[in-house]
């Protein structure tokens, strides 16, 4: 079915962090119906991140958002051997990415939290940049995909992304131009804002940044990111788009209330 679980190894690809900078963070990955071979890929990325930030302590939290394929007990046992100490949060009903992120954050053990997608679409080196900003005192660090990101998107997703960015800028007046990039880091103040969100689907990101932007004392900083090669973009079903539109209207309504 899949290879024997490899033992995690550390490769010191960069100079180690100073000993006083080893506070550590929770790395939260939402997951729903992952593709074949996802576990080996996850271990590979995990090794890259731990090497990039050695000796910083990284607590991996994997959230299974009601998968109906490629996530069974045998997969869980394999991962626990491959990544000792991994926290796996699992529930049977698919609730959406926003719900999954919040469930992962509820199991956080560290001073800081960083979440990204299971396939690490922006690579692993950017995780270090996000963590550096958190150590420097930023409350929320948000990835921003530039115009180059639009050039690699399928036509349908490109239209949706343009509309989303325009709405975030002119209707919600967010402090981050691209709230939907699925990579963010935060401290306890940002964590409280994230846990106060209510949108379960993809627009939880917009709600998160919108709520955070209302707190003038909160420090929010963007980090430019680029998609790594080989990323496959999923398509959006009309039913999902309609649901997310309703979520967006809810966010706008609350901003005007």
Taking only the tens place, the pLDDT of each residue in 17-48 is: 543 445 899 999 999 999 999 999 999 999 99
Angle, in degrees to the nearest 10, between helices 97-106 and 204-213 = 60
Residue 151 is predicted with a pLDDT of 58
Residue 243 is predicted with a pLDDT of 62
Contact status, residue 222 vs residue 144, Cβ threshold 8 Å: yes
Query: For strand 140-145 and strand 184-186, is the pairing parallel, antiparallel, or unpaired?
Result: antiparallel
Structure tokens at 124: 């692993």
Residue 248 is predicted with a pLDDT of 62
Residue 68 is predicted with a pLDDT of 96
Least confident segment among 1-15, 52-66, 139-153:
1-15
**Banded model confidence at residue 12, pLDDT cuts 50, 70, 90:** very low
**Banded model confidence at residue 69, pLDDT cuts 50, 70, 90:** very high
Q: Where are the domains of the chain?
A: 19-256
Checking 208-216 for CB contacts under 8 A at 24+ apart, the result is: 208/179, 208/184, 209/140, 209/142, 209/168, 209/174, 209/175, 209/176, 209/179, 210/172, 210/174, 210/179, 210/251, 210/255, 212/139, 212/140, 212/175, 213/173, 213/174, 213/175, 215/189
Taking only the tens place, the pLDDT of each residue in 164-178 is: 666 666 666 777 777
Residue 92 is predicted with a pLDDT of 95
**Of residues 247 and 122, more confidently modeled:** 122
pLDDT > 90: percent of the chain:
56
Contact status, residue 131 vs residue 114, Cβ threshold 8 Å: yes
Q: How far apart are CA 95 and CA 4, in angstroms?
A: 31
Q: What is the mean pLDDT of residues 176-201?
A: 91
Residue 254 is predicted with a pLDDT of 61
Contact status, residue 220 vs residue 140, Cβ threshold 8 Å: yes
Residue 203 is predicted with a pLDDT of 83
Q: How far apart are CA 204 and CA 207, in angstroms?
A: 5
Q: How far apart are CA 244 and CA 179, in angstroms?
A: 14
Residue 183 has pLDDT above 80, yes or no: yes
Q: What is the mean pLDDT of residues 167-194?
A: 83
Q: What is the mean pLDDT of residues 100-119?
A: 97
User: Burial level of 256, CB count in 10 A (0-12/13-18/19+)?
Assistant: exposed
Residue 176 is predicted with a pLDDT of 77
For residues 202-232, one letter each, b for 16 or more C-beta atoms within 10 angstroms of the residue's C-beta and e for the rest, the string is bbbbbbbbbbbbeeeebbbbbbebebeeeee
The architecture (CATH level 2) of 19-256 comes to Alpha-Beta Complex (3.90)
Q: Is 36 left (phi over 0), alpha (psi -120 to 50) or beta?
A: beta
């Amino acid at each position: 079915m899949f290879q024997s679980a490899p033992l995690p190894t550390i490769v010191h690809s960069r100079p180690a962090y100073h000993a006083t900078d080893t506070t550590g963070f929770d790395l939260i990955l939402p997951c729903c119906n992952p593709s074949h071979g996802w576990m080996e890929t996850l271990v590979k990325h995990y090794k890259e991140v731990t090497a990039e930030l050695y000796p910083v302590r990284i607590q991996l939290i994997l959230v299974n958002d009601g998968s109906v394929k490629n996530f069974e007990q045998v997969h869980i046992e394999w991962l626990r051997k491959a990544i000792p100490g991994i926290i796996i949060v699992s529930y049977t009903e698919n609730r959406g990415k926003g719900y999954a992120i919040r469930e992962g954050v509820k199991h956080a053990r560290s001073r800081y939290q960083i979440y990204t997608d299971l396939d690490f679409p922006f690579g692993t080196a950017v995780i270090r940049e996000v963590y550096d900003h958190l150590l420097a005192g930023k409350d929320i660090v948000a990835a921003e995909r530039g115009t180059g990101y639009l050039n690699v998107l399928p036509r349908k997703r490109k239209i949706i992304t343009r509309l989303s960015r325009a709405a975030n800028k002119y209707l919600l007046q967010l402090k981050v131009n691209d709230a939907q990039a699925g990579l963010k880091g935060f401290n306890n103040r940002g964590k409280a804002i994230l846990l106060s969100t209510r949108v379960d689907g993809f627009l939880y990101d917009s709600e998160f940044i919108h709520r955070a932007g209302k707190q003038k004392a909160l420090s929010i900083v963007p980090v430019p990111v680029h998609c790594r090669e080989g990323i496959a973009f999923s398509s959006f079903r009309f039913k999902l788009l309609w649901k997310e539109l309703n979520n967006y209207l809810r966010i706008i309504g609350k901003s005007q209330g």
